[in-house]
Amino acid sequence: MAEKLGIYIHIPFCRSKCDYCDFYSLAGQEGRMDDYQKALLAHMKETAPLTRGWQVDTVYFGGGTPSFYGEKRLRELLRFIAKRFDLAKDAEITVECNPDSVDQKMLQVLRRAGFNRLSLGVQSACDCELQSLHRPHSYQQAVEAVKAARAAKFQNLSLDLIYGLPGQTMEGWQNTLEQVLTLKPEHLSCYGLKVEEGTPLDYRVSRGEVLPDDDAQADMYLWTVERLAREGFRQYEISNFARPGCQSRHNLRYWMGRPYIGFGPGAHSDFGGRRYSFVRDLETYISGVLGGGVVIDSSDLIPARERGSEYLMLRLRTTRGIEEWEYRREFFLNFDPIEQKLEEYERQGWAERHDRRWNLTPKGFLVSNQLISDLLVIQEEATLEKTLPRLKQGMPPKEP
């Protein structure tokens, strides 16, 4: 049976820039869309033969704002993928959309073309919060977009929300989530606002704008987890919640450490034991692909030891967590010191054990960065303990 692969296509165009955004996306570059399309098609054509023997079971168009790129280009890209790659009949095909750049006709075209999952950037049900973030749409437009998606027969709809916004209270966040729940999405991503360096929001905060503090954000998060559980959503990752059977198969692939290839400036890939990324610059990407230049920004062969660290970092973001036998079998590492630490976390209410599987609790997710980095230190020490005796005997260290 063919091995499974995911494809990510980055669409780096937006109508305008949101104040908190540090994704690689550009406003006012619509004039470059046609050349970008040529570059993407050429890049995929060149790459497709390398994936022979792999079946593509998830495709994700992210950005940026793919819906702003237009249904004609999106449809052409998907057709090309279906022609050049071994695309599974039941592949999950997601497109990210913003409420201001979709309508029913467009969504019908996308649905008929084979897109079967839609991820809509709603962020808030409060127009003053949307304006404060410089989002290019109102909440009513998000409601209309959901109606249009349903009319176009999208049965797998994900809505993105952000909590901890400037001036937002717990009541304000609760109101957003309650309103959004009436739209009956199959999937919700709820992210705590992060102030990314160099963004307009960073500047605003440096000038004294106040955001809800960590405790307030933590309360919003814990309330969200509990409220969505009551509504029948299953949390499957720190920020992601789905009705049964509606988890994002593509995003799970990242957290489970499964292979994927990306296209576009700033896109990452993990394929053939190598992790690589492309230049985070639209013009360099276009001229590099079309003119035969270099578009690779970084490329690393990942040793097994690093895969073990990744396993801890990524899998502990999910409610599935980590498994003792998997850890020992895949990475030949000693699980005992990790387990001792996890038992300590369990006493604090940060982790829980299910037979030989461990996962973080919602309280643990809140401090997951610290918990995981402590586990990585322990893993590193355990690896060194294994390697040092060999070095003392003048033998080369073995890859774990």
Binding span for ligand SF4 by CB under 6 A among 59-67, 77-85, 149-157, 260-268: 59-67
d(CA 240, CA 29): 32
Least distance in Å: CB of 277 to ligand SF4? 18
Residue among 25 and 132 whose Cβ is closer to ligand SF4: 25
- Looking at this protein, which amino acid is placed at residue 158? S
Residue among 13 and 236 whose Cβ is closer to ligand SF4: 13
Bridge pairing between strands 157-163 and 117-123: parallel
Q: Is 261 helix (H, G, I), strand (E, B) or coil?
A: strand
Least distance in Å: CB of 278 to ligand SF4? 17
Exactly one of 5, 11, 14, 81 binds ligand SF4 (CB under 6 A); that residue is 14
Binding span for ligand SF4 by CB under 6 A among 19-27, 109-117, 185-193, 376-384: 19-27
64 near ligand SF4, judged by CB under 6 A: yes
How long a stretch of residues is the chain?
400
* C-alpha closest to that of 93 among 187, 4, 7: 7
Residue among 15 and 341 whose Cβ is closer to ligand SF4: 15
User: 47 and 295 in contact (C-beta within 8 Å)?
Assistant: no
25 near ligand SF4, judged by CB under 6 A: yes
d(CA 225, CA 238): 9
User: 296 and 276 in contact (C-beta within 8 Å)?
Assistant: yes
18 near ligand SF4, judged by CB under 6 A: yes
> Please, which of residues 74-133 interact with ligand SF4 by CB under 6 A?
98, 121
Exactly one of 51, 58, 65, 119 binds ligand SF4 (CB under 6 A); that residue is 65
d(CA 165, CA 162): 7
Q: Pattern 167-206, binding to ligand SF4, x per CB under 6 A?
A: ----------------------------------------
149 near ligand SF4, judged by CB under 6 A: no
Binding span for ligand SF4 by CB under 6 A among 10-18, 30-38, 76-84, 272-280: 10-18
142 near ligand SF4, judged by CB under 6 A: no
Q: Which pair of tokens denotes residue 224?
A: 């969200």
23 near ligand SF4, judged by CB under 6 A: yes
Residue among 102 and 371 whose Cβ is closer to ligand SF4: 102
Transcribe 140-155 into DSSP letters.
HHHHHHHHHHHHTT--
Least distance in Å: CB of 224 to ligand SF4? 20
> Please, which of residues 297-356 interact with ligand SF4 by CB under 6 A?
none
Q: Which pair of tokens denotes residue 313?
A: 């970092």
* C-alpha closest to that of 13 among 3, 4, 23, 2: 23
Bridge pairing between strands 274-278 and 268-271: antiparallel
Residue among 18 and 267 whose Cβ is closer to ligand SF4: 18
E strand or H helix that includes residue 276 = strand 274-278
d(CA 221, CA 231): 15
By the criterion CB under 6 A, which residues form the site for ligand SF4? 14, 17-18, 21, 23, 25, 63-65, 98, 121
